[in-house]
Chain A
């Protein structure tokens, strides 16, 4: 087993990996940008090294600097988390040639699954169902037009290097094709430095269902069932759950087997996720492989009892996978909500800034994977994810109720977050009935704004503001000689003479 692991990430996922290292007796080495000196991952890690200025290109994406840091600090392996360098074949290759273990798939598999067009070709050859569409890159506009006609409108434009919805466009008619392609190519070029796009049949009202898979270095592959991730805004997931309300045991079995096969034909090792689209007739199509630890991995952990991060580390260290497919079962139901620093009442505008107060929800079956704390200044430079709230319960209904209660208890003050929005998603009738498709947010929450609460609550809030005004509580605490514990505040408050006319 490794003695020391470098975690090439920040925020909640870096913290998650550091916890796994701790439990396994591995020294954790955090790297951080100048903006993250006070970050939670730096506080939690055993060792920490600054790798450059705030801009991600100069720090968390700086391959040379990160590999050099691993070498000089004696880390034998690097865990990339998600995002940043997680699915970068060049980084994996450089780690391999520097003699450092990249905790993730080998660079050849990464390269294959990272190229959407090549991946489609490989899957089709192996009899894995793919969305009807192009398996090659068109030479010119005329060829795209012919292909689009062959597929039949509406078609979807997708970036070959794709991900995160970048470069994606729905085209409903031939007139829209050229402008759509041009816009898609431009966006793909900006996002991935590669303007290659291809066309696929547009599937209406689909569900996004993915399968978690683990593969060791010796060809042993198991899947850990599905995650339903249909609730998305801007093609990014915000609520995930497992099991999917849409799968029957028979369909689950077939999709799981297909997911295993996808990794097998890709020569894949370590943890990966096979994404499928499930159409209205319960037909499923291979979408892509996410060659990393997923943001939403905890729902799988809670229902299968498998620690995915520890499994990743064990597999990378060359251990054989001890899990057998026939032993794996799903128990109960888990739901995850992503807590972003965004203003949901204002088109999800980013909301960086100082967190003045944070209270994480607690209670039976509640898990909170966070990367922030009271007093932390959320930087402007990185992804807006702050934390993930995950609940487990025996049934879907009780998991939803538990999530609703946990969101009600969650306090983050100082910046806007997605919490009020998530509450209404979880409370929505369609969601409660499990009728989730990728169009859910667009159909029910377009231009959403938080509604006003009861008048009485407002009165109480104003009263609290007034009490706070006349009794800045820190002053009370200071006067009492206790910064935190205030035992008899009203005696102290008496001096401010509440209720006296001014």
Chain B
């Protein structure tokens, strides 16, 4: 069975076949064989050629955090473009840009007004989280199309702060 994931924005496709307690994973031109045991709701034990590897999986909506050998992989189901289309996300569209906060926090200040012209890297807003103020910079040169937040608002990392339109 084929699976499509996205890791750091890059699509990854693997095929997994099962035979008894073994799985055969085809990834690129390589095939990996592992014996698998489900340990708990969050953990798998893999034996790969006699080497033991504990894998921990935690999920949050379409995101999976997979930990193994001291390393964490953030894996998203499906392909990036598909997900964006599903969300009605127009960030990918040309000449338009939705600015989001890099992390959840509180808007301390909105530094621009609607219709205002902005330079690239100009500070658009300041979002504070955990006692640190973070300047949100403009990714492009253009003008402010719409502002969605005001000082004091709480934002998460997906909520749009403002929309820009690139200079034509």
Contact A356/B59 with A383-B130, A490-B38, A498-B16 known, Cβ cut-off 8 Å = yes
Question: How many residues of chain A have a CB within 8 Å of chain B?
Answer: 60
Judging by beta carbons under 8 Å apart, are B71 and A465 in contact? no
Nearest chain A residue, comparing its CB with the CB of B155: A380
Contact with B along A490-502 (1 / 0, CB 8 A): 1001000011111
Judging by beta carbons under 8 Å apart, are B70 and A413 in contact? no
Within 8 A of A (CB), among B121-168: 128-132, 134, 154
Alpha-carbon separation in the docked complex, A449 to B112 (Å): 32
- Of A380, A459, A464, A489, which one neighbours B106 at CB under 8 angstroms? A380
Contact A457/B57 with A380-B104, A383-B130 known, Cβ cut-off 8 Å = no
A470 contacts which chain B residues (CB < 8 A)?
1
Within 8 A of A (CB), among B21-42: 21, 23, 25, 27, 30, 32, 34, 36-42
Alpha-carbon separation in the docked complex, A399 to B33 (Å): 36
Is there a chain B Cβ closer than 8 Å to A407's Cβ?
yes
- Of A343, A382, A411, which one neighbours B131 at CB under 8 angstroms? A382
Contact with B along A454-485 (1 / 0, CB 8 A): 01111111111111111101101100000111
B contacts with A: majority SS: strand
Judging by beta carbons under 8 Å apart, are A466 and B105 in contact? no
Alpha-carbon separation in the docked complex, A346 to B134 (Å): 12
Judging by beta carbons under 8 Å apart, are A411 and B46 in contact? no
A462 contacts which chain B residues (CB < 8 A)?
3, 5, 7, 12, 14, 25, 27, 66, 73, 75
Is there a chain B Cβ closer than 8 Å to A307's Cβ?
no
B75 contacts which chain A residues (CB < 8 A)?
461-462, 465
Nearest chain A residue, comparing its CB with the CB of B41: A473
- Of B2, B38, B69, which one neighbours A473 at CB under 8 angstroms? B38
A356 contacts which chain B residues (CB < 8 A)?
58-60, 65
Give the size category of B's interface with A: 35 or more
Alpha-carbon separation in the docked complex, A465 to B3 (Å): 9
Judging by beta carbons under 8 Å apart, are A501 and B130 in contact? no
Contact with A along B38-80 (1 / 0, CB 8 A): 1111101010100001011111100011111111110101000
Judging by beta carbons under 8 Å apart, are A499 and B70 in contact? no
Contact with A along B68-108 (1 / 0, CB 8 A): 11111101010000000000000000000000001111100
Q: Which stretch (A137-145, A242-250, A325-333, A347-355) binds chain B? A: A347-355
Is there a chain B Cβ closer than 8 Å to A486's Cβ?
yes
Is there a chain B Cβ closer than 8 Å to A189's Cβ?
no
Judging by beta carbons under 8 Å apart, are B34 and A463 in contact? yes
Distance of A61 from chain B, by nearest CB (Å): 12
B44 contacts which chain A residues (CB < 8 A)?
464, 467
Judging by beta carbons under 8 Å apart, are B134 and A453 in contact? no
Is there a chain B Cβ closer than 8 Å to A423's Cβ?
yes
Distance of A464 from chain B, by nearest CB (Å): 4
Distance of A455 from chain B, by nearest CB (Å): 7
Alpha-carbon separation in the docked complex, A319 to B16 (Å): 67
A383 contacts which chain B residues (CB < 8 A)?
130-131
Judging by beta carbons under 8 Å apart, are B71 and A352 in contact? no
Judging by beta carbons under 8 Å apart, are A349 and B134 in contact? yes
A455 contacts which chain B residues (CB < 8 A)?
27, 30
Judging by beta carbons under 8 Å apart, are B134 and A461 in contact? no
Judging by beta carbons under 8 Å apart, are B70 and A407 in contact? yes
Alpha-carbon separation in the docked complex, A407 to B70 (Å): 8
Complex A-B: 23 CB contacts under 8 Å: A341-B130, A350-B105, A352-B130, A357-B67, A380-B129, A381-B130, A384-B132, A456-B48, A458-B12, A458-B73, A459-B14, A459-B27, A460-B25, A461-B55, A462-B3, A462-B12, A463-B32, A465-B3, A465-B77, A466-B16, A467-B16, A473-B42, A476-B38
10 tightest Cβ-Cβ pairs between the two chains A and B: A498-B18, A489-B38, A356-B58, A499-B18, A408-B70, A413-B65, A350-B130, A357-B58, A499-B17, A413-B58
Residues on A lying within 8 angstroms of B by beta carbon are 341, 343, 346, 349-354, 356-357, 359, 380-384, 407-411, 413-414, 420, 423, 453, 455-471, 473-474, 476-477, 483-486, 489-490, 493, 498-502
